[in-house]
Structure 1
Amino acid sequence: MEWMKKISSDKMLVGLVSLAAVGMAFIYLGKGPIAPPQSEQTQSAVTTVASPTTKIGVLEKELESKLQTNILMMEGVGKVQVSVNFLTGLKSEYVRNNNVTKRTNKETDKTGGTRETTEITENHQVVMPNGASQPVIAMEDRPEIGGVLVIAEGARDPKVREGIHTAVQTLLNIESARITVVPMGGV
């Protein structure tokens, strides 16, 4: 009878170990697939998307820099941070070669009736210089400015804040409601 106790305790031990292994497997599998760490190549691709590589992004950065340079020269302003946002993109009008052809046909049938038809063909081709990949631009319109944010140390003073506001409004020729000037704070 002792051997039966030994066998049953061995079976119980094997059962407990098996149960623990199955439990651990469920815990591990329950976490779902583990995402592999991002490679350096993926991280740099994400960073490049945020940089201003588009024409609009470059224009925004250029305008911010020009505004910041002008505002920094004003008395009492201190440190300045400028952000500009465009509502629209660049608008370009291209030179076109416009051809209009008008052709009229008069037909008379056996009973004496006449029928007149007019066919008009219009062709408005964009002019491309020989060997060029870009068409000839007749006019290029600036994008519409959506808003300007100026953060300046000296903006706590109402006179400095008003001066910055007026300068931005004058330089960009935009309505007052699209300009916000706030004092710099924090770190």
Structure 2
Amino acid sequence: MDWIKKISSEKMLVGLVSLIAIGMSFIYLGKGTGESAQSIQTKSAVTAPAGSTTKIGLLEKELESKLQTNILMMEGVGKVQVSVNFLTGIKHEYVRNNNVTKRTNKESDKTGGTRETTEITEDNQVVIPSGSTQPVIAMEDRPEIGGVLVIAEGARDPKVREAIHTAVQTLLNIPSARITVVPMGGTYD
């Protein structure tokens, strides 16, 4: 009877080692075994520094133009020049494929003891469509506004200056301290 147990234990050990080797090869090849869960995750990345002449520069010019158009429509403003400065670059969050593989092994030794091991493997890759070099973007955030300077003819009048200041603050949802409104010609009343 002992020889049967010995042969069974040896076959079981060889089978277990073979199973582990096959499982590791599946994990290495990215197929995984056992419980597998896939989910979408995102990761932030800043793509362009503030003040560059790429997308940031274009966004600054676009925002300046929109602000200037709105301010020009206000009563008593006159000529207007608007400058906008961004503190940060454009932020992208990329789609990520999160693959988690969990495998549990139970081993028995000759004396009847058992040991259980659990191996968890995580793979977190950015999703890039086939035929493309660009990752899939989940979300794109505009850069944070550092400051706005408005130079207007009508800003000599405190009521007009305050109205411009309030309009910029409302449109951009930024703190009052980041907005400066001065009269054209540079003098305050």
TM-score category by the smaller chain?
A: 0.5 to 0.7
Work out the percentage of aligned pairs sharing the same amino acid: 90
Q: Give yes or no for the alignment of 1:166 onto 2:166.
A: yes
* Aligned twin of 2:54: 54
Q: Which AA in structure 1 matches 2:117?
A: T
Counterpart CA distance in 1 for 2:88 and 2:52 is 16
Q: Which AA in structure 2 matches 1:83?
A: S
Q: Which AA in structure 1 matches 2:166?
A: T
Higher share in helix: 1
5 Å-filtered alignment, 1:102-121, equals: 102-121=102-121
Counterpart CA distance in 1 for 2:183 and 2:109 is 86
Counterpart CA distance in 2 for 1:115 and 1:161 is 77
* Aligned twin of 1:73: 73
Q: Give yes or no for the alignment of 1:136 onto 2:136.
A: yes
Deviation of residue 120 (structure 1)?
1.0
Deviation of residue 52 (structure 1)?
5.5
Cα distance per residue 1:59-107 (max 9 Å; x no partner): 1111111111111111111111111111111111112222110111222
Higher share in strand: 2
Counterpart CA distance in 2 for 1:154 and 1:61 is 23
Deviation of residue 113 (structure 1)?
3.4
TM-score (normalised: structure 1): 0.67
5 Å-filtered alignment, 1:1-187, equals: 53-185=53-185
Deviation of residue 115 (structure 1)?
2.5
Counterpart CA distance in 1 for 2:53 and 2:84 is 16
Counterpart CA distance in 2 for 1:96 and 1:73 is 45
Q: Which is greater in Rg?
A: 1
* SS of alignment partner, residue 154 of structure 2: helix
TM-score (normalised: structure 2): 0.67
User: Any unmatched runs of 5+ in structure 1?
Assistant: 1-50
* SS of alignment partner, residue 74 of structure 1: coil
Deviation of residue 121 (structure 1)?
1.1
Counterpart CA distance in 2 for 1:68 and 1:52 is 21
Q: Which AA in structure 1 matches 2:147?
A: G
RMSD: 1.7
Counterpart CA distance in 2 for 1:98 and 1:133 is 20
Deviation of residue 158 (structure 1)?
0.6
